Amino acid sequence: MIGSDPIHCSVLAIDQATLDPAAALTFVSDPAFGGLDLFVGKVRSHNQGREVVGVSYDIHRSLALTVFRQFADEVRGQFGPRIKLYVAHACGRLGIGEIAVVVAAGTPHRDQAFGACRALIEAVKHRAPIWKQEHFADGDSAWSEGCALCGEEPGQKMSDPC
Amino acid sequence: MIGSDPIHCSVLAIDQATLDPAAALTFVSDPAFGGLDLFVGKVRSHNQGREVVGVSYDIHRSLALTVFRQFADEVRGQFGPRIKLYVAHACGRLGIGEIAVVVAAGTPHRDQAFGACRALIEAVKHRAPIWKQEHFADGDSAWSEGCALCGEEPGQKMSDPC
Amino acid sequence: MIVQLALFGAFRDLHREPTLLLEVSGDTVSAVRASFAAHLLGQGHAERSALIRASAFASDQALLHDTEAIPADGRLAILPPVSGG
Amino acid sequence: MIVQLALFGAFRDLHREPTLLLEVSGDTVSAVRASFAAHLLGQGHAERSALIRASAFASDQALLHDTEAIPADGRLAILPPVSGG
């Protein structure tokens, strides 16, 4: 089925490139695959009742690329080996409706594609070194509360929205 | 959030149009939506160990459009009302790797998008008046076994791969 | 009455045209089912009787139960088990 | 030893540069955590102590447990709770 690398991981500076769902679908396609699932995360206009005008993403790029591949390997172990996976995350400031993240999975049958795509975006959301700063219509900005990565020390967790 | 119709349903004759995942993503996008999930079903090169060279889809077009909308309304009831849904199915003969079906859901948060997209493709696969004839490399063709629509009469079901 | 029965899926292979004109004695969907079964039997397709039993009938807008009346325009479709997507 | 600590997320707001040079007395990650907490306290950011406790440390390639040694090149990053996607 697969000759080249079945996993694509990237972090894209938004001033240099845009995330491309079509490229993700092409990457996870294969003559043997009948099911592709794609998730697109976009910046939305409201969060917890406040009007948002943009979001800035801060990313530890080298570590993010490393853990994206680790996540994909985990997902491949669970839903593969006949699978192709794609993860791309934007870095920088995005406006409303712009794409922050694209994740895709291609598999022979749809159940694995849905499961793998979901597992991969959950890992990216909860465990990747990425930070979101929301810019509000009133001029205020705030770093979102997030998921602590030092989970092996439960006493050190903040109240956790994960 | 929504002015115009939040549901798109279509059946496309493959000699006149191709299915367009990008159009599906555009349709289910909304400034208030942070999560889009898209499923693409493609013709795959093997089924149950046999090499496939193409698939012909036969569709009861008017009834399909009616039930696509019914399915979308059901899904909207379960995951909405803040939701946009897209269903398009190809009709005619497709080659390997060509797109047979595109389903997409856009919602404020990803959990609803995944759930809605999955529910919608399951309804299309199991309950829409669509028939698939596989063409094999050895020259043989066969209509796929499917899901009986007369489920209210359990005694009349065939062995059911659904 | 004369019914115009639209054929789909595997039933398409049994008839040159996409629809079949069928003489039905009765006015319910179950009468159409019986007439179509008799017609295929007469054509030497006894092996299709299980497929007919597993099939649904529909107008252009909705599935029709066996106890329902044949639509006034005499047009309906036989839907073998479906396999979309 | 002198550590070059890369700052991310909310910690970026506390310092002009993306990295901070930090004098650390000790050779484990926990010593870096303690030194950074002391540094921010000295800068008047006592309110950040909970965030430091909730943060992880990492090299360019992996998370580092508190008991691990500071990387030989003296470079690491502090990662507050994450919120990607």
CA distance D84 to B32: 18
What is the spatial distance between Cα A73 and Cα A105, in angstroms, rounded to a whole number? 12
Among B2, B33, B42, the residue to mutate for chain A (most A Cβ within 10 A): B42
CATH of the domain at B58: 3.90.1170.40
Report yes or no on A68 lying in a domain. yes
pLDDT in tens, D58-79: 999 999 999 999 999 999 999 9
Percent of chain A whose predicted confidence (pLDDT) is above 70: 91
Residue B150: pLDDT band with limits 50, 70, 90: confident
Distance CA A16, CA A21 (A): 16
User: According to DSSP H, which parts of chain B are helical?
Assistant: 21-28, 61-79, 110-127
For residue C46, pLDDT beyond 60: yes
Total number of domains constituting chain B: 1
Rounded to two decimals, what is the model's pTM? 0.94
Helix A21-28 / helix B21-28 crossing angle, nearest 10 deg: 130
- Domain residue limits at B42: 7-143
Q: Is residue A158 situated within a structural domain?
A: no
Token pair recorded at residue A132: 């979101």
Residue among D8, D53, D85 minimizing CB distance to A58: D8
> How near does any CA of chain D get to the CA of A112, in Å?
22
- Interchain proximity A63–D53, CB inside 8 Å: no
- Residues A140/D37, Cβ–Cβ less than 8 Å: no
In a domain, B37, yes or no: yes
In a domain, residue A148? The reply is no
Q: Residue B1: pLDDT above 70?
A: no
> What is the mean predicted confidence (pLDDT) over B111-119?
98
Give the model's pLDDT for residue A157.
44
Assess if residue A156 is contained within a domain. no
Quick one: average pLDDT of B68-72? 98
CA distance C25 to chain B (A): 22
Q: Domains, chain D, ranges and CATH?
A: 2-79 (3.10.20.30)
| Predicted pLDDT of residue A154 | 42
**B150 in any annotated domain:** no
The predicted complex's ipTM stands at 0.94
Candidates B44, B58, B66, B118: best to mutate against C (most CBs of C within 10 A) is B58
The answer to whether residue B121 sits within a structural domain is yes
What are the residues of chain A with a beta carbon less than 8 Å away from any beta carbon of chain D? 41, 57-60, 62-63, 66, 89, 100-101, 121, 124-133, 143-150, 152-153, 156-158, 160
Q: How many CB pairs under 8 A join A and D?
A: 97
Cα separation, A74 vs B93, in Å, equals 37
How far away is chain D from the Cα of A41, in angstroms, using its nearest Cα?
A: 6
**pLDDT tens by residue, B34-55:** 999 999 999 999 998 999 999 9
